[in-house]
Amino acid sequence: MSKPITPVISPDEDGTVVLERRTDQAKPPQMYQVALLNDDYTPMEFVVFAIQEFFGKDRDTAIGIMLKIHVEGKGLCGVFSRDVAATKVNTVMEAAQNAGHPLQAVSEPID
């Protein structure tokens, strides 16, 4: 995919107009981290299930993230584009609600 070209019009020394081509540098999209938050009611096994199911982590990694959530109050599950992060948050929260758990997921921009 080619980069967009922005025409720049600038006068020359003798007053003639010169058309220059400058390529615009596209910035990478803003990325968002998705984290799960600790609560006193959601079973640890459901948290592990959610991490495996919705973030594609293996069981050992999911258990490590779950323990971090339990101890520190919050655990990072992945980094995604804005739309994917929002979808992950909605999917986790809908699954938790359907299972009767108050598990919360949040999406935060990465600076």
Q: 60-74 burial string, b = 16+ CB within 10 Å, else e?
A: eebbebbebbeeeee
End-to-end CA distance of the chain: 27
The predicted-structure confidence for 26-48, as pLDDT tens digits, reads as follows 888 999 999 999 999 999 999 99
Whole-model pTM?
Answer: 0.77
Among 40, 45, 6, 41, which residue's Cα sits nearest to residue 22? 6
The ranges assigned to domains in the chain are: 31-109
- The architecture CATH gives domain 31-109: 2-Layer Sandwich (3.30)
Question: In the prediction, which pLDDT does 10 show?
Answer: 62
48-79 pLDDT per residue, tens: 999 999 999 999 999 999 999 999 999 999 99
